[in-house]
Copies of this chain bind each other. A is one copy, B any other.
Amino acid sequence: MLVVMKAQATPEEIQVVCEHIEQLGFRPHPMPGAQRTAIGITGNQGQIDQGNIEELSGVAEVIRVSKPYKLVSRDVKDEDTIIRFPGTNASIGGRDLAVIAGPCSIETREQAFAVAEQVAAAGAQFFRGGAYKPRTSPYAFQGLGEEALKIMAEIRDKYGLRIVTEAIDTEALELVNDYADIIQIGARNMQNYSLLRAAGKKRKPVLLKRGMAATLEEFLMAAEYIMSEGNYEVILCERGVRTFAEHTRFTLDLSVVPAVQRLSHLPIVVDPSHGTGKRNKVIALSRAAVAVGADGLIVEVHHQPDKALSDGAQSIYPEQFTQLMDEAGQIAQVLHRNLPRSIEVSEHASATR
């Protein structure tokens, strides 16, 4: 259920409505918009008498939301969500495209800095690197853990790049939340509801990857789990679905980008590296992702992919990344969007958000 406030409703009136909802045993989610505020109501204990709410001061109307996702939906918030990173010019979801680049795993300080320097020079605003790696084999390299997080914090300090890294469980989530700017939830954990709820209790943006067999509705419901806990900064990420096709590791489903954008106000980015699993297809699919209207890209880059401890076959070379940025930037313009080519950190900004 959704309470739409009048354009001229005061903060006090909004407050009164929220309290009333809480007294009824539900949870209010005020979503300020450009014109007016809407208040989403969540909770599973049955039906509310909407008549009483409509009588409250400042309320324009009460709408029943029939879709299973609510906070995620454009019914609740029509305007696009733009996630900003204070102290920088970086953002995700607006006119500017966001590019997140870096190695699959942080392997050593040297490797991480070598890649970071090159992706920063090519214009990426965000740096990705795995500290905790979900690997198919228990005997494979599992990541450097907190050591990797510390290396990435240094990279933020030196290059201004904002840090994106995966939390594979609630324990890792605490550390990722301490060090990173964006918490990534991986495809294999898209329906790990305990982790989603825990991420929803944090106050950093969450990049949520689509599960390899997730329908659009399941994808949006996973985001709803995060939002239902009060964290409204969710970035969706298409990374390929599992099909019979063998020429790529997964089948990148670019049609999900416009499909998400019709239903949800949340930004959506595309991962052509995992989506194809093949270096020689990353640039072409990156162009296509920008052309289809994605709000950004997340790309694996390694200065020595043949020596990478994980995902080397799908990591591109730094010079390929430069080409990718160039072509993506040109295509962005066709869509009247912009690809900012370097991060600007304001003078007095603290390094962390």
A residues near B, CB below 8 A?
Answer: 42-44, 68, 70, 134-142, 168-172, 188-189, 191-195, 197, 211-213, 215-218, 221, 224-225, 228, 241-248, 251-259, 262, 275-276, 280-281, 284-285, 287-293, 327, 330-331, 334-335
Complex Cα distance A251/B255, Å?
7
Give, as a whole number of angstroms, the nearest-CB distance from A353 to chain B: 26
Chain B residue nearest to A69 in the complex (CB): B137
Complex Cα distance A284/B262, Å?
12
The 29 listed contacts between A and B (C-beta, < 8 Å) are A68-B136, A136-B217, A136-B221, A137-B221, A138-B197, A138-B221, A138-B224, A138-B225, A169-B192, A171-B194, A189-B191, A211-B213, A215-B246, A215-B247, A217-B246, A243-B244, A245-B253, A247-B256, A251-B251, A252-B255, A254-B285, A255-B275, A255-B276, A258-B284, A258-B285, A285-B292, A287-B293, A288-B289, A331-B334
* A192 surroundings in chain B (CB, below 8 A): 169, 188-189, 192
* A256 surroundings in chain B (CB, below 8 A): 245, 247
Complex Cα distance A33/B119, Å?
41
Pick the residue among B171, B197, B225, B334 that contacts A287 (CB under 8 A).
B334
10 interchain residue pairs of minimum CB distance: A213-B213, A291-B291, A169-B194, A188-B191, A288-B292, A287-B291, A288-B288, A247-B259, A44-B139, A216-B247
Give, as a whole number of angstroms, the nearest-CB distance from A258 to chain B: 5
Pick the residue among B70, B213, B259, B285 that contacts A244 (CB under 8 A).
B213
Pick the residue among B43, B68, B193, B243 that contacts A168 (CB under 8 A).
B193
Give, as a whole number of angstroms, the nearest-CB distance from A166 to chain B: 12
Q: Do A134 and B221 form a contact, CB below 8 Å, given A241-B243, A280-B258? A: no
Give, as a whole number of angstroms, the nearest-CB distance from A307 to chain B: 15
* A139 surroundings in chain B (CB, below 8 A): 42-44, 70, 228
Give, as a whole number of angstroms, the nearest-CB distance from A67 to chain B: 11
Give, as a whole number of angstroms, the nearest-CB distance from A137 to chain B: 5
* A193 surroundings in chain B (CB, below 8 A): 134-135, 138, 168, 188
Complex Cα distance A191/B142, Å?
14
A288 x B216 contact (CB < 8 A): no
* A280 surroundings in chain B (CB, below 8 A): 258, 262
* A135 surroundings in chain B (CB, below 8 A): 193
* A247 surroundings in chain B (CB, below 8 A): 215-216, 255-256, 259
